Structure 1
Amino acid sequence: MQESKKTYYIDLSSGEISQSVSASTWNFKIEATDEEITQLREEFNYNYHMGIQNFLRAHIPFDEYHNDKENHAQDGSLLRIYEMIYQLGDTEAKKHIESMGILPKQ
């Protein structure tokens, strides 16, 4: 039996995932299974923790951004979040992400 999808609203800046359209501000509307939402939450958590590490490390002046593996890890995580939102998102979400030009051509 295939798991049913539910509607979720995503606030990218806070990493919030809600089923209530009016609970907070949101950027993207998606349809996802419980498993897909778990994966998205895990990616948001990873991205958040990488952000903290990057913030702390940013106070070391001789580390350059382009040579920093933590920054690359956070960039990769954000890209995976956008890919998931693109795959699960409604037409408006897909169009917005396409307009950003950050994902490889589908």
Structure 2
Amino acid sequence: MEKETYYISVGSRGISKIKTGTPFELEIEATEDEIRALRGIFDEMYNADVMGFLRAHVPFWEYHNDRENDIIDRDLMNVYQMLYDLGKTETKQHIESMGILTNLDGENHSTM
């Protein structure tokens, strides 16, 4: 499959082929299958957000025992790893500068 340029906004979970179509933070080169996989992770994050919203209205449920937050954290790491792998040079540099793919022992887990 042929790779195309996509513009990604992690905060709004946006994916666009049009550079001026929506505000974006990162630029990647991806196939349609890779974009489907990224959209699938964004969808999982949305569903976990909805469940977290519902959970937030249960006063005795402790925040630190929240499976939905764990799902969002895991998915966010997966998104950034995927964007790093598919990213153009500027995208890779930006994600590296964020330090989000560095684990607690200080080792960088990016694949560049």
Residues 21 and 45 from structure 1, CA distance in 2 versus in 1: closer, same or farther, beyond 3 angstroms? same
TM, length-normalised to structure 2: 0.86
Q: Give the paired residue count.
A: 104
Work out whether 1:27 is the aligned partner of 2:25: yes
- Code of the aligned partner of 1:59: H
Unaligned residue ranges in structure 2 (runs of 5+): 103-107
CA RMSD of aligned residues (A): 1.2
- Code of the aligned partner of 1:29: E
Unaligned residue ranges in structure 1 (runs of 5+): none
**What is residue 7 of structure 2 aligned with on the other side?**
9
**Higher deviation after alignment, 10-19 or 60-69:** 60-69
**What is residue 37 of structure 2 aligned with on the other side?**
39
Q: CA deviation at 1:64?
A: 2.5
**What is residue 50 of structure 2 aligned with on the other side?**
52
Q: What secondary structure sits across from 2:35 in the alignment?
A: helix
**Highest RCO, 1 vs 2 (Cα 8 Å, sep ≥ 6):** 1
**What is residue 88 of structure 2 aligned with on the other side?**
90
Q: CA deviation at 1:40?
A: 0.4
**Runs of 4+ in structure 1 over 4 Å off:** none
**CA distance in structure 2 between the partners assigned to 1:49 and 1:26 by the alignment:** 22
